Amino acid sequence: MTVQVGPQIRSIDSPPSRNRFASCHSSQSLTMVLALRRSLAMSSRVANRSLGMLHQQQKAMKHTHTLVLIRHGESEWNKKNLFTGWYDVQLSEKGNKEAAAAGQLLKKEGYTFDIAYTSYLKRAIRTLWHVLEQTDQMWIPVFKTWRLNERHYGALTGLDKQATVEKHGAEKVLEWRRSYNIPPPDLDTSSEYYPGNDIRYKDVLRRICLWPSLWNSRPPAYCPSGRAPLCLASRRARTW
């Protein structure tokens, strides 16, 4: 049986010509080559993107520095389970040992520092002294600020924690201790714990008005870039 195909006549039962097979094979090869090129191009873009990300990460790591935060050792009021806040209590014997041990551990791990920060409270200051002594870095600059003091507990200062829970309830006491929006009861200005009666804090209100909070401002000018700072503070440095 034959059919008319343009100007030519061929049998539909006859096999395709060798040229048709060659043409088909050539077309498939071209398609495979194009697909391979697209795949290679895509792989190249992915590889370049990955290398670019790796380069950015390595570049960022060169500008990454270490900030070491240390809580003070046990204080005399920690031992008695009293609310301490801004009251300037001494470290206990155990607290001094804890601070020295922290310094020894830092030395063992090879830490070196360029600058140190601490609060106005002697429990934090003495902890810093122990750390710097143990790491043989007592020569580095030390800056003190009341903003690193422990949270001020207001009228709770000096009270037994368990007795306060029994009186006001665990939920309310936890709210006073942890909330950023609900302060503890106000402390009477005649109290021995009132910070306004302490020479260290007499001008705090004036300084608050003059200088922006550390939470909202750039690092102080005396903290050079590229340095490794050490910060000694209480567990909760948020104050009221």
User: Residue 158, annotated ligand binder?
Assistant: no
Alpha-carbon span 187 to 158, nearest angstrom = 11
- Under the phi-then-psi rule, with left for phi > 0, alpha for psi from -120 to 50, and beta for the rest, what region is 215? alpha
pTM of the shown model? 0.65
Per-residue pLDDT tens over the stretch 168-207 = 999 999 999 998 889 999 999 999 999 988 888 887 776 6
Would you state the pLDDT for residue 65? 79
User: Residue 153, annotated ligand binder?
Assistant: yes
Q: What pLDDT band is residue 11 in, cutting at 50, 70 and 90?
A: very low
150 carries an active-site annotation: yes
Determine which one of 150, 171, 175, 192 is catalytic: 150
Q: Backbone phi, then psi, for 56, in 5-degree steps?
A: -65, -40
Would you state the pLDDT for residue 141? 94
Give the domain 68-233 fold. Answer: Rossmann fold (3.40.50)
Alpha-carbon span 5 to 29, nearest angstrom = 27
Would you state the pLDDT for residue 235? 53
Q: Backbone phi, then psi, for 52, in 5-degree steps?
A: -65, -45
Determine which one of 65, 72, 109, 175 is catalytic: 72
- Helix extents (H) in the chain: 18-62, 76-80, 93-108, 122-134, 161-168, 170-178, 204-210
User: Residue 73, annotated ligand binder?
Assistant: yes
Per-residue pLDDT tens over the stretch 145-166 = 999 999 999 999 999 999 999 9
Q: What pLDDT band is residue 239 in, cutting at 50, 70 and 90?
A: very low
User: Residue 74, annotated ligand binder?
Assistant: yes
User: Residue 93, annotated ligand binder?
Assistant: no
Per-residue pLDDT tens over the stretch 67-87 = 999 999 999 999 999 999 999
Q: What pLDDT band is residue 226 in, cutting at 50, 70 and 90?
A: low
User: Residue 178, annotated ligand binder?
Assistant: yes
- State the average pLDDT over residues 203-216: 60
User: Residue 227, annotated ligand binder?
Assistant: no
Element (H, E) at 6: none
Tell me the pLDDT of the chain averaged across its residues.
79
